[in-house]
Structure 1
Amino acid sequence: MKLREEMPEFTGVTEWVNGEVTKEELKGSPTLVHYWSISCHTCKETLPQLNDWRDRYKEQGLRVISVHMPRSEKDMETGPVKEAIQQYELIHPVAIDNSYKLVDAYENQYVPAYYVFDKEQKLRHYQAGEKGLKMLEKRLDRVLTTGEAEQ
């Protein structure tokens, strides 16, 4: 995805955990879409940070949606994914994307990956991997305070 592109629809999801979300429901809310995989060690290490942002920015209207992207056939087993969702306290909506419909819509190749959308559902920042979490936090702050991630 390119900056300022519109958020894709959440269609073709294999299963939702913690409630289904539609693009329509997210209108007017800044949104962080987070890709992760159960077989990704780095993903698991960054989940506490994701939960912190979810809780810290809730008052400012941030919505967090996680997408589980399987990296192998074993990752497609929904039981262990659901156990990890519970273990890591992912209480926000989580899409299990075993058919790669969201992966394709977002043109996502990496986990963890983070997509920050503004209130108008335009992509304002993209970050992949663990290295840029501080930069991602700055972009989140900017989108929540000014509505834009860029100056």
Structure 2
Amino acid sequence: MKLRDEMPEFTGVAEWVNGSVAKAELAGAPVLVHFWSISCHSCKETLPQLIEWRDQYRDKGLRVISIHMPRSEKDTEVGPVKEAIQQYGLTHPVAIDNNHKIVDAYQNQYVPAYYLFDEEQKLRHYQAGEKGLSMLAKRLSRVMGSEELA
């Protein structure tokens, strides 16, 4: 995806945890779409930061959607993914994308990966890997209209 591209639909999901989400329901709200995998150590290390942002900006309207992107056949086992969702406190909607339908729509290749959309559902920032979280924090702060850096 390129900056200013429109947010893709969330179709073809194998299973939703914590409620399903349709793109139309997100209109008018900034959205952070987060790709992760149960087999990714870096993904697990960055989850506390994701949860902090989710909680910090909840009252300002931020919606967080996580997409579980399996990287191997073992990653498609739904039970362990659901256990990890509970263990790490992912209380926001999580799509289990075993068929890579959302992964393909986003043209995503990496985990962790973050796609930040503004209220008009246009891509404002993309970040892959854990090393760029400070850049994502700055962009998130800007999109949320907050002066302080997350």
Shorter-chain TM-score tier: over 0.9
* Structure 1 partner of 2:84: 84
What aligned pairs does 1:1-150 form with structure 2 within 5 A after superposition? 1-145=1-145
Deviation at 1:85, TM superposition (A): 0.0
SS in 1 for 2:121: coil
Deviation at 1:3, TM superposition (A): 0.3
Share of identical aligned residues, percent? 77
Deviation at 1:61, TM superposition (A): 0.5
* Distance in structure 1 (CA, Å) of the matches to 2:70 and 2:31: 22
Deviation at 1:59, TM superposition (A): 1.0
SS in 1 for 2:144: helix
SS in 1 for 2:145: helix
* Distance in structure 1 (CA, Å) of the matches to 2:94 and 2:68: 7
Q: Spell out structure 1 runs of 4+ moving beyond 6 A.
A: none
* Distance in structure 2 (CA, Å) of the matches to 1:141 and 1:61: 13
SS in 2 for 1:33: strand
* Distance in structure 1 (CA, Å) of the matches to 2:135 and 2:2: 18
Give per-residue Cα distances to partners, 1:3-50, cap 9 Å, x unaligned.
Answer: 000000000000000000000000000000000000000000000100
Q: Counterpart of 1:71 in structure 2: which amino acid?
A: R
Deviation at 1:132, TM superposition (A): 0.4
Provide the TM-score with structure 1 as the length reference: 0.96
Provide the TM-score with structure 2 as the length reference: 0.96
| Runs of 5+ consecutive residues of structure 1 not aligned to the other structure | 147-151
| Runs of 5+ consecutive residues of structure 2 not aligned to the other structure | none
Q: Root-mean-square deviation (CA), in Å? A: 0.7
